[in-house]
Amino acid sequence: MSDSTFDLIIVGAGPAGLTAYLYARRSLLNVLLLDKGPIGGQVLYTDLIENYPGFPEGISGFELIELMKKQVEKLGLQFREGEVVGLEVEEGYKVLTLSSGERLRAKAVILALGAKPKKLGVPGERELTGKGVSYCAICDGPFFKGEKIAVVGGGNTALQEALFLTKFASKIYLIHRRDAFRATPILQERVKASSQIELKLNREVIKILGRDRVEGLLLRNKHTGEDEELSVAGVFIFIGYEPETAWLRGKLALNEQGFIITSKEMETTLPGVFACGDCVSKKFRQIINACGEGAVAALNAEEYLKEFPHV
Amino acid sequence: MGACKVTDQDFEKEVLQSPIPVLVDFWAAWCGPCRAIAPVIDELAEEYAGKVKVCKLNVDENPVTPGKYGIRAIPTMIIFKDGQVVETIVGAVSKATLSNALNKVIS
């Protein structure tokens, strides 16, 4: 058996993957944790997490990840960077192909792939990313001190980040394509109480304006059909998330949006492959349920391994 | 050893006048992704020692230089060669992405 055969490979090192790793290592499995970027995932982009129990004052995403990382490091962390592009089953073993061409073998796999921010898909968005178009308020907010900016979206992330951005920007237009927000009432109340936030409801962004940097937005009123130009130096986009699961199509069941379909034991439709966290098809995507699913996935993977190779 | 620190004051001398290419990581303490990739930046400093100078510039303490290069997002990594910008990479990208960019510059 080659050196690169593991009991378990966990793909994705956010809260779900780190929790799965914690449980798997406590079961003394030979586990590899893979991620195409640094450990942490999307949580790194969160300024203050107030809904993860045990931190009454809240905690930053980076600090929460550091604590989770420390906890798994104590058990011996086998982590490496690598982007998985293929999954095959060979005689019961799951073979992952990395973008480098390297192949890694495992008896079981946990997919904790996370999700990435959805793009608006309008002209100017890609060209001006990093030049005023942003998907991370904590990283980029401080570059807009005293300026007018826009936040796009109507969910918890959009409202929370709009509130965070009031620390820097003088004025924030909160743009939402519907007439009501989906966000939790406490956030809606805080947004309405802020003198710096102006709501722009029933409006869609149709273009981001500017050559070398963002200079404004072109909005369309969904009721009247009228267009208006809004002069802003930045636009922060929080319109939801999408998984990166195109490479799994045809291997296991995905829903229409590409999220992975699992049982309540976090099994995918491919035996020995489990999934947890934001990449899973479900209604709510929170750190707390990502961690819970990570634990369940690891415990079920352990049971699966006891019976391996299931001939 | 790790990445060296540069400031608004010594940017001209340390980066623009450097005889070898320089990668500058624009970062700040409040930026989670910046802190998450910091170990990778230090590793690159070791691996490319003598071939590429790898530096970090704290945008909080040094606001002039980021303004000059139109930085509106961090982490942003800019590779300079002979005082000119040859590559700009935005976001907490993989180590492989940064290595590929550096290899292109020194090849």
CATH number at residue B84: 3.40.30.10
Output b/e per residue, A19-29; b: 16+ Cβ within 10 A. bbbbbbbeeeb
Q: Is the peptide bond before B75 cis (omega within 30 degrees of 0)?
A: yes
Contact A237, A257 (CB under 8 A): no
- Using the beta-carbon criterion (under 8 Å), do A139 and B93 form an inter-chain contact? no
Question: How high is the pLDDT of residue A2?
Answer: 45
What are the chain B neighbours of A36 within 8 Å (beta carbons)?
Answer: 94
What are the chain B neighbours of A68 within 8 Å (beta carbons)?
Answer: none
Contact A266, A277 (CB under 8 A): no
Q: How many domains does chain B have?
A: 1
Judged against a pLDDT cut of 80, whether residue B22 lies above it is answered with yes
What are the chain A neighbours of B75 within 8 Å (beta carbons)?
Answer: 139
CA distance B59 to chain A (A): 9
Q: How far is CA A238 from CA A115, A133, A135, A244, B6, in A?
A: 13, 11, 7, 17, 34
Tens-digit pLDDT profile for residues B89-100 = 999 999 999 999
Give, for all 311 residues of chain A, the pLDDT tens digit. Answer: 445 799 999 999 999 999 999 999 999 999 999 999 999 999 998 888 989 999 999 999 999 999 999 999 999 999 999 999 999 999 999 999 999 999 999 999 999 999 999 999 999 999 999 899 999 998 899 999 999 999 999 999 999 999 999 999 999 999 999 999 999 999 999 999 999 999 999 999 999 999 989 999 999 999 999 999 999 999 999 999 999 999 999 999 999 999 999 999 999 999 999 999 999 999 889 999 999 999 999 999 999 999 988 75
Minimal Cα distance from A44: which residue of B? Answer: B32
Range B12-41 average pLDDT: 96
Q: Which CATH class is domain A5-117+241-307?
A: alpha beta
Indicate the DSSP class of residue A118: P
Number of CB pairs, chain A paired with chain B, less than 8 A apart: 82
What are the chain B neighbours of A39 within 8 Å (beta carbons)?
Answer: 36
Tens-digit pLDDT profile for residues B46-60 = 999 999 999 999 999
Question: How high is the pLDDT of residue A311?
Answer: 58
Any chain B CB within 8 A of the CB of A247?
Answer: no
Q: What interface predicted TM-score (ipTM) does this complex get?
A: 0.84
Max CA distance (Å), chain B: 35
Judged against a pLDDT cut of 80, whether residue B40 lies above it is answered with yes
Contact A110, A11 (CB under 8 A): yes
Task: Choose from A68, A139, A145 for mutation: most chain B CBs within 10 A.
Answer: A139
Any chain B CB within 8 A of the CB of A58?
Answer: no
Question: How high is the pLDDT of residue A271?
Answer: 96
Q: What is the CATH number of domain A133-237?
A: 3.50.50.60
d(CA A56, CA A164): 19
- Using the beta-carbon criterion (under 8 Å), do B28 and A142 form an inter-chain contact? yes
Helix (H, G, I), strand (E, B) or coil at A265: coil
Tokens of A179: 């007439």
d(CA B18, CA A3): 43
Domain of B92, in residue numbers: 4-106
Tell me how many degrees the CA angle A229-B74-B64 measures, rounded to the nearest 5.
85
- Residues carrying CATH 3.50.50.60, chain A: 5-117+241-307, 133-237
Q: Tell me which amino acid residue A229 is.
A: E
Question: How high is the pLDDT of residue A3?
Answer: 53
Minimal Cα distance from B94: which residue of A? Answer: A37
What is the reported pTM?
Answer: 0.87
- Using the beta-carbon criterion (under 8 Å), do B66 and A143 form an inter-chain contact? yes
Range 78-107 of B in CB contact (< 8 A) with A: 88, 90-96
